[in-house]
Amino acid sequence: MDKIKISGITVYAYHGVLQSEKELGQTLFIDCEFAIDTSLCNDKIENTVNYGEVSCVIASFCRENRFDLLETLANKLSIHLLLNYPLIEEVSITIHKPHAPISTPFTDVTLTVTRRYNTCYLGVGSNLGDRKSNLLLVEHEIENDENIILLKKSSYIETEPYGILNQPNFMNGVLKIRTVYTPKELLYFCKNIEKKAGRTKTRHWGERTLDVDILFYGDMIYWKDDLKIPHPEICKREFVLKPFVEIEPYFIHPIEHINMQSLLQRLKKEI
């Protein structure tokens, strides 16, 4: 991917934890590097990203907002650029704070944040209350969040319970989205929707008003106690694979290294 880099955007702004920083301000220097495809610009400014305009947007954003942490400023600024310039696929923001309140001699403090759009897949399911309405709530929340775009959705299918059989049938589906959220931010988004649907803790694999799982986050392999991507149960669940194949049969599982259609066929042979 092609990259444009702007270095040393100078802005006087009021970001910092200390009251003196909030009141007196200080000079910050911003470096911005963004990835775009320049092959089809055809020598027309409207087919690329105007880096002069981007520089002014960065300076204005830093002046018009106030945050305690550089981390917050860098993250918010990165997302602001991605949302306002659709041609930008990835952006890196480096903030230099050479006048930071540090008691030892130093030359500079820098923070670099990189953010990009990612294509992700969510599995949704419900077997309590108005199941269809519960699933449609996920679509509604996506439509009302500027950080997520719904690209495709499967049919919602009736499925028998998995794991614990003495419970009502489920309605399940898969959503394909594009988002600037990090994996942890997307997890928070999903859990918040479950809470809005009135989900409470029940037995493992038990009844639920709404279940929203991150199935894949691009081709990322992320393995932490509170979040595992790809979802470890995908290959065992026909109620996930069947709607997934409906919208994306040739998506390659980053661990199994075969496509979703082949995974579904393999599972049917094992059942």
pLDDT digits 0-9 by tens, 81-119: 999 999 999 999 999 999 999 999 999 999 999 999 999
Q: N- to C-terminal Cα distance for the chain? A: 44
In contact, 15 and 68? CB cutoff 8 Å: yes
Q: Is 191 a catalytic residue?
A: no
CATH level 3 topology of 118-270: Alpha-Beta Plaits (3.30.70)
Can you list the alpha helix ranges (DSSP code H) found in 15-69? 19-24, 51-64
What is the residue whose two structure tokens read 């929340």?
Answer: 141
* Correct CATH for 2-116 of 3.40.50.300, 3.40.50.920, 3.30.1130.10, 3.30.470.10: 3.30.1130.10
User: Predicted confidence band at 200 (pLDDT cuts at 50, 70, 90)?
Assistant: low
Q: Where are the domains of the chain?
A: 2-116, 118-270
pLDDT digits 0-9 by tens, 123-171: 999 988 899 999 999 999 999 999 999 999 999 999 888 767 677 889 9
Q: Do domains 2-116 and 118-270 have the same CATH topology?
A: no
* The two three-digit tokens of residue 252, written as one number: 């390659």
Q: Of the listed 97, 153, 176, 242, which one is catalytic?
A: 97
Comparing 5-9, 26-30, 72-76, 267-271, which segment has the lowest mean pLDDT?
267-271
